[in-house]
């Protein structure tokens, strides 16, 4: 468990872990209450999602690696693959059933629910709860206010409120298109953890091409289009919390995308710089 101490700095002092654990427990009590007392059996998919990813965590920990960060990243990759495949399946299925135009009507995005969209969103919601627990358990976070824990808490609140009220389910499915890009983020992280850092290899170069392509077409463009659609249809929303919640959520996602883009650019530039230095050293060695 070489990385068990990652992000330990200041965790016990500022009580961030205790706060986010308390919010996670409150969330779990809320979901169990809805299922048991309000007989919302469709929400069992949330519990299924959490249990499935925890089971996969134990499998990876038992058979592949006991490094908490490696295990966490592997399960994140699995979630991104499952979610991406689910979203593509749901969109294609709906497109063939109703046609592309009708899919994106305001009434369809806000009040409707595409086939399989509800269980898919529940399953993802279960993953975010599992991931929050895993990060808290092994302290895979850092900072006074850990951004990854805030991100997961915001997603849990938004997803769960939508699932309880059965609104904006299709909008949230569209936001999950970004998981296609997350696949390459997790692959890059695992590749570097496995010690494969030679940026001269064709595989690493291909990974960067796919990473940037997915960042633009599966993350930035869909999130910008969703934000534009929300603003354009703002007058069609009622006086409830749906519009403010959706707009603030998308604003947060777009800000995170800018930060992620900058991080990717710096990482890309750093790898290119290392490659140039390596080439210069090789050239110098041959010259001698």
Instruction: Write out pLDDT tens, residues 51-93.
Output: 999 999 999 999 999 999 999 999 999 999 999 999 999 999 9
Tens digit of each residue's pLDDT (9 = 90 or more) over 104-132:
999 999 999 999 999 999 999 999 999 99
3-state secondary structure of 194: coil
Q: How far, in Å, CA of 55 to CA of 90, rounded?
A: 25
Torsion sign across C-alpha atoms 155, 157, 162, 163 = positive
d(CA 282, CA 280): 5
At 92 the three-state DSSP class reads: helix
Residues of the chain scoring pLDDT < 50: 1-12
Give me Rg for the CA atoms of the chain: 21
pTM exceeds cut of 0.85: yes
What does the alpha-carbon distance between residue 231 and residue 184 come to, in Å, rounded to a whole number? 30
With contact defined as beta carbons under 8 Å apart, do 79 and 55 qualify?
no
Give the tokens for residue 193.
């953890």
Cβ contacts of 121 within 8 Å, gap of 6 or more: 159, 162, 163, 169, 172, 173, 176
164 burial type by CB count under 10 A (0-12 exposed, 13-18 middle, 19+ buried): middle
């Amino acid at each position: 468990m070489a990385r068990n101490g990652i992000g330990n700095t200041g965790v016990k002092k500022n009580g961030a872990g205790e706060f986010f654990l308390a919010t996670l427990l409150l969330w779990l009590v809320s979901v169990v209450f809805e299922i048991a007392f309000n007989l919302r059996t469709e929400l069992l998919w949330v519990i299924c999602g959490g249990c499935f990813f925890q089971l996969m965590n134990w499998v990876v920990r038992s058979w592949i690696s006991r490094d908490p960060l490696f295990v966490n990243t592997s399960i994140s990759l699995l979630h991104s693959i499952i979610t991406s495949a689910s979203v593509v399946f749901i969109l294609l299925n709906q497109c063939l059933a109703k046609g592309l135009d009708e899919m994106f009507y305001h009434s369809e995005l806000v009040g409707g629910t595409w086939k399989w969209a509800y269980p898919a969103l529940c399953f993802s919601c279960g993953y975010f709860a599992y991931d929050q627990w895993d990060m808290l358990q092994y302290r895979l976070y850092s900072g006074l206010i850990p951004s990854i824990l805030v991100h997961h808490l915001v997603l849990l609140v938004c997803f769960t409120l939508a699932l309880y009220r059965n609104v904006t389910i299709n909008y949230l499915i569209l936001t999950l298109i970004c998981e296609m890009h997350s696949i390459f983020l997790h692959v890059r992280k695992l590749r570097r953890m496995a010690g494969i850092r030679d940026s001269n290899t064709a595989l690493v170069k291909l990974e960067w091409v796919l990473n940037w392509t997915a960042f633009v077409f599966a993350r930035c463009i869909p999130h910008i289009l969703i934000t534009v659609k929300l603003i354009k249809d703002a007058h069609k929303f009622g006086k409830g919390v749906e519009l403010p919640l959706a707009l603030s959520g998308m604003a947060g996602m777009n800000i995170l995308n800018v930060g992620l883009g900058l991080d990717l650019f710096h990482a890309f530039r750093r790898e290119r710089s290392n490659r140039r230095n390596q080439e210069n050293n090789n050239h110098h060695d041959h010259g001698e």
